[in-house]
Structure 1
């Protein structure tokens, strides 16, 4: 499954929408995604499972680059 992760790079700052970044990760569960990212010290706002037409839409983006958990 592919997950889209919304995050802030600095855990100590208050989340601001303009500073929110995203990445895509292939994993079996949301828990696996969070575990894989724990060493990066990100402030994770949301982990969203992508499927169907939403996944197709994201794959059309030039920024679509999938990491493996």
Structure 2
């Protein structure tokens, strides 16, 4: 399954909406996504599963690129 993750790059700073970034991750579950991203020390705001029409819509975006995180 593909997940869209909204995050701040530094977990120690106060979140600012304008600094929110996104990354697309393929994983089995939200827990798996959080485990994969733990090594980056991100402040994860939201992990959103994508499927069906929502996934197709996201694929049309220029920013859509599924990250290969092991």
TM-score by length of 2: 0.94
The answer for the alignment partner of 2:23 in structure 1 is 23
Q: Supply the distance in 1 between the matched residues of 2:24 and 2:35 (Cα, whole angstroms).
A: 14
Q: Supply the distance in 2 between the matched residues of 1:49 and 1:43 (Cα, whole angstroms).
A: 18
Q: Supply the distance in 2 between the matched residues of 1:45 and 1:24 (Cα, whole angstroms).
A: 14
Residue 68 of structure 1: CA displacement?
3.3
Query: Deviations along 1:9-44, whole A, 9 cap, x unmatched?
Result: 011111111000000000110010000000000000
Pairs aligned (count)? 69
Question: Which consecutive residues of structure 2, in runs of 5 or more, have no partner in the other structure?
Answer: none
Q: Supply the distance in 1 between the matched residues of 2:63 and 2:15 (Cα, whole angstroms).
A: 22
Q: Supply the distance in 1 between the matched residues of 2:68 and 2:54 (Cα, whole angstroms).
A: 20
Q: Supply the distance in 2 between the matched residues of 1:67 and 1:52 (Cα, whole angstroms).
A: 19
Question: Which consecutive residues of structure 1, in runs of 5 or more, have no partner in the other structure?
Answer: none
Q: How much is the aligned-residue C-alpha RMSD, in angstroms?
A: 0.8
Map 1:1-69; keep pairs closer than 5 Å. Answer: 1-69=1-69
